A and B are shown apart, each in its own frame.
Chain A
Amino acid sequence: MDTIRGWLPYILLFPLMGMLINGILGNYFSKKWIHRIAIAAVLIPFVIMTTLFFSLQSLPEESRSVIVHIASWIEVGYLKISFSLLLDQLSAIMVMIITGIGTLIHIYSVGYMHKDSSYSRYFTYLNLFIFAMLMLVLGSNILMMFIGWEGVGLASYLLIGFYFQEDSKASAGKKAFITNRVGDFAFLIGIFILLFVVGSLDFAEIREASNTGVITGVVATIITLMFFIGATGKSAQIPLYVWLPDAMAGPTPVSALIHAATMVTAGIYMISRLHFLFILSPFTMSIIAIIGALTAFFAATIALVQTDIKKVLAYSTVSQLGYMFLAVGVGAFPAAMLHLVTHAFFKATLFLGAGSVIHAMSDEQDIMNMGGLKDKIKTTHKTFLFATIAITGVLPFSGFISKDEILWRAFATGNGVISNLPILLWIVGIITAMLTSFYMWRLYFLVFHSGQTRHQDERVIAHIHESPLSMRLALWILAGLSIVGGYIALPHFIAHSAPIIHSFQNWLDPYFSTSIENTKIVHSASMEAIFMFVSWGLALFSFFWAKKWYFKEKSITSTMWANSFKTVYNILQKKYYVDEFYYWLIDIFIIKFSHKILWRTVDFVLIDGFLIRGIIGWGTYITGRVLSIFQNGNLQFYVITMVAAIMAIFYWMIW
């Protein structure tokens, strides 16, 4: 306990120091020292966290929640908000993921960014991100979480627009920031309502209030819906997912760290952290499950036809996040967390692999120009293959275990609001799994197989080379984790015979204990095995289909299909015209309404013209002028005024 109390603040301190040192003095350091400092700033917290993890484990189950009070922050009336950190089962896992994968991606970045002239700026932002993300998961009240929430948003904005010299990339950053603003606004409203109802923002007290019935059903629905809108922004769900594909404008390691492994899962973390609040409202839970399933499905369909390697992975991320929301929506919080962890492993591998491919192809991102890279970049190929198997859900790789868990729970958890929902969710989920398998294998085959490299420029082809050691190192470690990462939680029917292996669930269960009573499982575990084979079979089916089309040269049938379903293909290619639709909305509301009416009429004429210039401006200007007549610079007058004032006051006092 005392070790945890003593060491926990340092987890936050190191990234902060790293950011400050590189941010202020970075220009005076050599590149070697910049990345040494930056890596140490993440690696040391990881080491600390690993030891803390074991000391947390050695504590009895019910006291595995340690609050470290650092400072009191706001104390106004009943509102008391402190800077305190909370380490429990949930945040321990998140910190491990953030610092662990964070370290690997810092190491990877050394190789990836070695030519960049803004080296110190890059690592400063990365450390800032790690700091903010740790704040998000370690905060012991919602406000601290919100600071972290905004902090990662800022870091994300800065890193998406890292190459701000290019207009499109700077705009991508702005798009991400503004889209998130919409969600954050709802989040804030939720916080205010919660504060109004509960009178505190501490997780412990909110939990207490939820369990004792202070928060009623309707209020809980409003609050949780607001929080969920916040989550759709940060975690890229319908309707606010549009920023994530554009966020690929940032450097690829950033896409791996922020826009795949960690930041985008903040919404899942938030809902899991506040699960006691969410389960009070079955309505919100159903909405979350539906939105999650729909996002998973639609994003997967878009990913089918994208040709930019990072865009495919981006839509895949959106789709996988949809799975996680599906899981939390049906109350399977540990399953969501498990998928969060495994997804972090294999999606980071995929993105880093994509980065390695892009690096090898001299910044080419179109998969139609790739192909046949299998033998030219061997490490990248192998690790990418492992991660692909993991994401498509083949036993025994990690993705299978977590995805199966989610699908099973989606099917098995009864829904009180819509009775047919479980089966519908399961069908959407299983189709999505099939689509996932297809687009991932399509990506894999188009990049690494399908004949010769199709790039136009001979020099690019000649220049194809394996990435430096630092990048390969990160790839190998992450690929290894993609393979074995899932073993922390085996399926029920295996785990029943070997309960010790099912440790992930056991680890998290104490935190989610209230929710487990509230969500009842209506089907038996033996069905899980059947389901498992169904999804496995569908994944295999997709694999062979993709292999048929893309393994050799790009086959004619695929083009034929694209031609005969031209409308569908175009809609998918254009991402359901959502961006266009949003632009149209913005055009009407912001450009036309705000510009013409709010700015030109209300602000310019009414407020500025009439109120400011008219009443306030002239009125006070004249009063001010009249009053300052007395300020005539004449010393005698000043002294006389003073004496006269004294006489007047004396007259008043003595009367």
Chain B
Amino acid sequence: MIDNISTIHFLKEMLYLIPLLILVFSSMIILLVDVFAESSNKRYLAPLTSLFLIFSAISIFWLYKYIPKSGVKILYNMVYVDHFSLVISAMLIIAAIITVWISSDYLERYGIAIGEFYSLLLISLTGMILMVSTTNLFTMFVALELFSIPIYVLAGFFRVYGKSIESSIKYFISGSVASAIMLYGIALFYGVFGTVEFSEIERHIFNHYDSVAQIAKTEPLLILGTLLIMAGFLFKTAMIPFHMWTPDIYEGAPTTVTGFMGFAVKATSFAAFFRVVVSIFNTPSLVYSENGTISPSSWINVIYVLIIITLIVSNLIAMSQRNVKRMLAYSSISHAAYLMIAILTFSLSKTKDSYGSLLFYLLTYLFASIGAFAVLSIFEKNGSNSVTLENLNGASKRSPFLVASMLIFIFSMAGVPPFGGFFGKFYLLKSAFVDGSLSTLVLIAVITSVIGAFYYLRVLVFMFMKDVESDENIETLNVPFLGKLAIALSAIAVVYLGVFPNSLIQFMGETISNFFIK
């Protein structure tokens, strides 16, 4: 029997879930509408979806003011909503809106404009938002699966193309292995401590162990658990050598889906990993040796080495790619390394600046990356589902608008001022450099970003300087309205972030919640 007080309590808790609830219900509504709507009316599915997304975004803004700095734990501590999760959720929703706008025409061109696409996108988004708003390993795993499975399906959405199917299957199998590994890690934690709650685990580690060496001797399973959970995240964020799925899947998946997962999967995994790091991994006894220095065999050193490998290898391989989607896949791997630097910086220095720089970097990466994939999705030749550098020949004559936007996105990713990406990199590396112990890493990052400039700018060389042999091949591209809007807004956002980075980076620093400062 439900009494009044618990009903009110329940409703109050539901209040914090409104963004999620909107997404869940709208995914069902979209499916229903898709079933009953005339096929000629299906083009309204995209605006309808984006309307729901905008509602959800508005509710997030509203919640942001409503939620205290300490965050709110609801549903028996299974869900934790704080400013950090709201900011990440807002970015994810923006990514989804842009994706929906570009996809509506893209799907129509391939003749697969059906509601499942939007519905799956919304379900995936629900999972992502849930994943960043939890401090419970078990909820986190469920959320991980909730957002991964729709993405597997979306990757194989072009059922008629072998590559699409291949990427879907590859993603599914390797992703399942990674999930299993991560789940095993969670099980080990549960086995050792009997809880899956972050703060409980942290307390236990803090109370029972002193140093890394001691843990390795007395409870090696804890080390293994740490490693396995980390491996799951390294897979999702595509750090080398856990990256191997990335190029194949980025290439095979529909381009707009690639754009979405390029940002959203990464951002979600980073945000969740960030929480795990701050809460569990950063416990002193998991980092330091007995004499108070960072233990050589701690997870920090593992990540440190992986970042260096990732920075060098991903940039070198990207240079030899002719397929632009594959090239951007490797570029996204190198961006992951940058984000890892931010996480390392925060766990070492715990400053507001490094926290803000991580979020700001994500924001610049959001617009530049989705924008670039959006442009590619329009340049894509019908039936091939891939874009090589040669396909971009003479692009500046086919659509000045698209090429100008691409220039902005590419410059931003390569880190050329005055675009957002430059300040993203700048603030991130600055706070890493200030910390002192990471200066070698900063040096390598700067050098590899010079290598990065080579393959980024090569795209522009093909777009601006190479002409098609015969003039007949030049057909002007018609950019659909919603796509144009999405690309234009992304480009404006990138420029805005580059010209007025200050206010936003300060805002991002202010969103730090009590979860991160203890």
A350 CB, nearest partner CB in chain B, Å: 40
Q: Are B320 and A625 in contact (CB under 8 A)?
A: yes
Question: Which of B220, B245, B451, B503 sits near A654, CB closer than 8 Å?
Answer: B220
Q: Are B177 and A642 in contact (CB under 8 A)?
A: yes
Q: Are B244 and A638 in contact (CB under 8 A)?
A: yes
The chain B residue with its CB closest to the CB of A83 is B500
CB-defined interface of B225-260 with A at 8 Å, one 1/0 digit per residue? 001100100010000011011011000000000000
**Chain A contacts of B499 at CB under 8 A?**
73
CA distance A73 to B235 in the complex (A): 38
Q: Are B220 and A630 in contact (CB under 8 A)?
A: no
Question: Which of B178, B248, B321 sits near A642, CB closer than 8 Å?
Answer: B178
The chain B residue with its CB closest to the CB of A647 is B227
B297 on the A face (CB < 8 A)? yes
A60 on the B face (CB < 8 A)? no
**Chain A contacts of B298 at CB under 8 A?**
653
**Chain A contacts of B224 at CB under 8 A?**
650, 654
A71 on the B face (CB < 8 A)? yes
Q: Are A653 and B317 in contact (CB under 8 A)?
A: no
Q: Are B500 and A630 in contact (CB under 8 A)?
A: no
Contact flag A642-B299 (CB < 8 Å), given A74-B502, A624-B317? no
CB-defined interface of B440-454 with A at 8 Å, one 1/0 digit per residue? 000000000001001
**Chain B contacts of A642 at CB under 8 A?**
174, 177-178, 181, 231, 235, 241-242, 244
**Chain B contacts of A625 at CB under 8 A?**
320
**Chain B contacts of A646 at CB under 8 A?**
181, 227-228, 231
**Chain B contacts of A616 at CB under 8 A?**
454
**Chain B contacts of A653 at CB under 8 A?**
216, 223, 227, 297-299, 302
**Chain A contacts of B465 at CB under 8 A?**
none
B170 on the A face (CB < 8 A)? yes
Question: Which of B170, B316, B503 sits near A623, CB closer than 8 Å?
Answer: B316
Q: Are B317 and A645 in contact (CB under 8 A)?
A: no
B22 on the A face (CB < 8 A)? no
A649 on the B face (CB < 8 A)? yes
A28 on the B face (CB < 8 A)? no
Question: Which of A75, A641, A645, A655 sits near B502, CB closer than 8 Å?
Answer: A75
CA distance A646 to B181 in the complex (A): 10
A631 on the B face (CB < 8 A)? yes
**Chain A contacts of B170 at CB under 8 A?**
635, 638
A462 on the B face (CB < 8 A)? no
Question: Which of A72, A620, A630, A649 sits near B451, CB closer than 8 Å?
Answer: A620
B479 on the A face (CB < 8 A)? no
Give the dominant DSSP class at A's interface.
helix
B319 on the A face (CB < 8 A)? yes
B15 on the A face (CB < 8 A)? no
B427 CB, nearest partner CB in chain A, Å: 10
CA distance A73 to B423 in the complex (A): 12
Contact flag A649-B319 (CB < 8 Å), given A620-B451, A642-B178? no
Q: Are B244 and A631 in contact (CB under 8 A)?
A: yes
Count contacts on B: residues with CB < 8 A to the other chain: 38
Q: Are A650 and B502 in contact (CB under 8 A)?
A: no
B24 on the A face (CB < 8 A)? no
Question: Which of B244, B299, B302, B451 sits near A641, CB closer than 8 Å?
Answer: B244
The chain A residue with its CB closest to the CB of B499 is A73
CA distance A101 to B503 in the complex (A): 37
A627 on the B face (CB < 8 A)? yes
Q: Are A621 and B320 in contact (CB under 8 A)?
A: yes
**Chain A contacts of B244 at CB under 8 A?**
630-631, 637-638, 641-642
CA distance A645 to B310 in the complex (A): 14
A102 CB, nearest partner CB in chain B, Å: 26
The chain B residue with its CB closest to the CB of A623 is B316
**Chain B contacts of A628 at CB under 8 A?**
317, 320
A639 on the B face (CB < 8 A)? yes
The chain A residue with its CB closest to the CB of B239 is A645
Contact flag A638-B245 (CB < 8 Å), given A75-B502, A620-B320, A654-B297? yes
Q: Are B317 and A635 in contact (CB under 8 A)?
A: no
The chain A residue with its CB closest to the CB of B227 is A650
Q: Are B174 and A652 in contact (CB under 8 A)?
A: no
Q: Are A650 and B320 in contact (CB under 8 A)?
A: no
B489 on the A face (CB < 8 A)? no
A560 CB, nearest partner CB in chain B, Å: 59
**Chain B contacts of A75 at CB under 8 A?**
502
CA distance A654 to B226 in the complex (A): 11
**Chain A contacts of B181 at CB under 8 A?**
642, 646
Contact flag A649-B174 (CB < 8 Å), given A631-B244, A642-B235? no
- From residue 611 to 633 of chain A, which have CB atoms closer than 8 A to chain B? 616, 620-621, 623-625, 627-628, 630-631, 633
CA distance A14 to B95 in the complex (A): 33
The chain A residue with its CB closest to the CB of B248 is A633
B32 on the A face (CB < 8 A)? no
Q: Are A621 and B319 in contact (CB under 8 A)?
A: yes
B67 on the A face (CB < 8 A)? no
Q: Are B223 and A654 in contact (CB under 8 A)?
A: yes
The chain A residue with its CB closest to the CB of B228 is A646
**Chain A contacts of B297 at CB under 8 A?**
652-655
Q: Are B319 and A624 in contact (CB under 8 A)?
A: yes
B142 on the A face (CB < 8 A)? no
- From residue 144 to 180 of chain B, which have CB atoms closer than 8 A to chain A? 169-170, 173-174, 177-178
Question: Which of B173, B245, B299, B316 sits near A627, CB closer than 8 Å?
Answer: B316
Contact flag A638-B174 (CB < 8 Å), given A650-B223, A654-B216, A654-B297? yes
CA distance A566 to B298 in the complex (A): 91
A39 CB, nearest partner CB in chain B, Å: 28
Q: Are A620 and B248 in contact (CB under 8 A)?
A: no
Q: Are B317 and A631 in contact (CB under 8 A)?
A: yes
B313 on the A face (CB < 8 A)? yes
> Which of B241, B247, B318 has the most chain A CB atoms inside 10 A of its CB?
B241
Q: Are A635 and B173 in contact (CB under 8 A)?
A: yes
CA distance A437 to B158 in the complex (A): 81
- From residue 405 to 445 of chain A, which have CB atoms closer than 8 A to chain B? none
Q: Are B242 and A645 in contact (CB under 8 A)?
A: yes
Q: Are A649 and B227 in contact (CB under 8 A)?
A: yes
The chain A residue with its CB closest to the CB of B166 is A633
**Chain A contacts of B316 at CB under 8 A?**
620, 623-624, 627
**Chain A contacts of B241 at CB under 8 A?**
641-642, 645
**Chain B contacts of A649 at CB under 8 A?**
227, 231, 302
B459 CB, nearest partner CB in chain A, Å: 16
CA distance A573 to B500 in the complex (A): 51
CA distance A654 to B297 in the complex (A): 7
CA distance A75 to B231 in the complex (A): 38
B357 CB, nearest partner CB in chain A, Å: 13
The chain B residue with its CB closest to the CB of A635 is B170
CB-defined interface of B285-329 with A at 8 Å, one 1/0 digit per residue? 000000000000111001000000000010011111100000000
**Chain A contacts of B247 at CB under 8 A?**
631
**Chain B contacts of A650 at CB under 8 A?**
223-224, 227
**Chain A contacts of B173 at CB under 8 A?**
635, 639
Contact flag A652-B302 (CB < 8 Å), given A620-B319, A642-B235? yes
Q: Show 26 residue pairs from A and B whose CB-CB distance is below 8 angstroms, ordered by the A residue.
A: A71-B502, A74-B502, A620-B319, A621-B320, A624-B316, A624-B318, A624-B320, A627-B313, A627-B316, A627-B317, A631-B244, A631-B317, A633-B248, A635-B169, A635-B170, A639-B177, A641-B244, A642-B181, A642-B244, A646-B227, A646-B228, A646-B231, A650-B223, A654-B216, A654-B220, A654-B223
Closest 7 CB pairs of A and B: A624-B320, A638-B244, A645-B241, A653-B297, A624-B317, A620-B319, A72-B502
Task: Given A624-B320, A652-B297, output 15 extra A-B contacts at Cβ < 8 Å.
Answer: A71-B503, A620-B316, A623-B316, A624-B321, A628-B320, A635-B174, A638-B244, A638-B245, A639-B173, A639-B177, A642-B174, A643-B177, A645-B231, A646-B228, A649-B302
